Structure formats: C-alpha cells, structure tokens
Amino acid sequence: MEINNLQVEDRQNFKARKFLMWLFIISSFMMFAALTSGFIVYTEGNVERGIKVLLPKQFMYSTLLIIISSFTMHMAYLSAKKLQFANQKLYIVLTILFAFAFFFSQYSAWKSLYDSGAYFVNYNASQSFIYVFSGAHLLHIIAGIFMLLYALLGKIRNIPQVRNIFRMEVTSIFWHFIDILWIYLYVFLLLNQ
C-alpha cells in the first residue's frame, strides 16, 4: 500500500516538475526571440550596422557536435526505456563529452572572433550580439550538463526505474531544445553575416 502511495506521489511531482521544465523552455525561447529581434531592430537593414565579420568555422563544428550529442541523448533515453542500463550510462557519458567539446568549440570561435577584430565591446553592437547569443546559449549548455550528470548519478545510484525514466525524459527534452536553439541561432547568424 505504501509503495502505491509513493508511486502516485511521484507521478504528481513528475507532472509539476515537467510543467516547470516546459515553462523554462518557453521563457528561454522568448528570451532568445527577444535577443534576435533586438538584433534585427538594431541593424534595420543598415549596412553600417551589419556584423561585417565572417562567422568562425568553429560555429559549424559546434553545430555538428550538438547534433551528434542530441543523437547520443536520444540513444540514452531509448536505452533507459529498454532497461539497457550499461548503454544508458555510456550514451549519457558520450553526450556529456560532446557537450564539453561543444563548449570548447564555442570558446575557440570566440577566440577567432577576437583575433579577427570582432570584440565584445566595440562601435558595432551587432558583433557583440554574436557573443551574447552564443554566451547565453552556453549557459543553457552548462545547465544541460548538470542535468546530464544528475541523470547519470541517479542511474549509478540505481534509483527506481520510474524516476530514472523521468530524469531521462526531462533531460532529453531540455537537451533537444538547446540543440534546436543552437541551430536556430547559427542559421540566424549565417543569414545576417
């Protein structure tokens, strides 16, 4: 009887937590929509306010890394559902490694931008937007890494399967969101360079 009460209580908590995740995703989407709108308003089709710098190739590599990490995240989630826990852990670790590779690729892109004369603080704020877009996205990547570590730790501690699936589902939703978000930002920057 006590186990059933725990399961009902868990399900109610899961619904509330999942709703909070969706609220966070929606608010993050709105923030990035506001930032890209701010960029459009700033440039207003004025050539003088354009980015005037080629995007570093590292942004393309970052895009490939995050797409691959989205695949490994999906495989981790599927492995959890199929009770293939060794595979689940392996795919989570791979996703974390791709996340760190993405992080360092972004740092390398910032260094390339800086070396090319596109500084964060300069007369042309549109170049600063590149740092703001990618920096705000990196904060989401860091949050995603913590979620991945939390999911991995739960599996290492052998938490009940219902909780494991919930952690994997929420982490997967968030990770796919930041994947799609980066693709949106990268395409936006490509179209406006």
This prediction has a pTM of 0.88
Q: What is the reported pLDDT for 61?
A: 96
> DSSP string spanning 75-134?
HHHHHHHTT-HHHHHHHHHHHHHHHHHHHHHHHHHHHHHHHTT--SSSS-HHHHHHHHHH
Closest by CA position to 171, among listed 139, 136, 140, 147? 147
Please report the domains of the chain, with CATH numbers, ordered by start residue: 2-45+52-191 (1.20.120.80)
Mean pLDDT value across residues 54-83: 96
Q: Are 125 and 188 in contact (CB under 8 A)?
A: no
Banded pLDDT at 54 (limits 50, 70, 90): confident
How would residue 2 be classed by pLDDT, with cut points 50, 70 and 90? very low
For tokens 């186990």, name the residue.
3
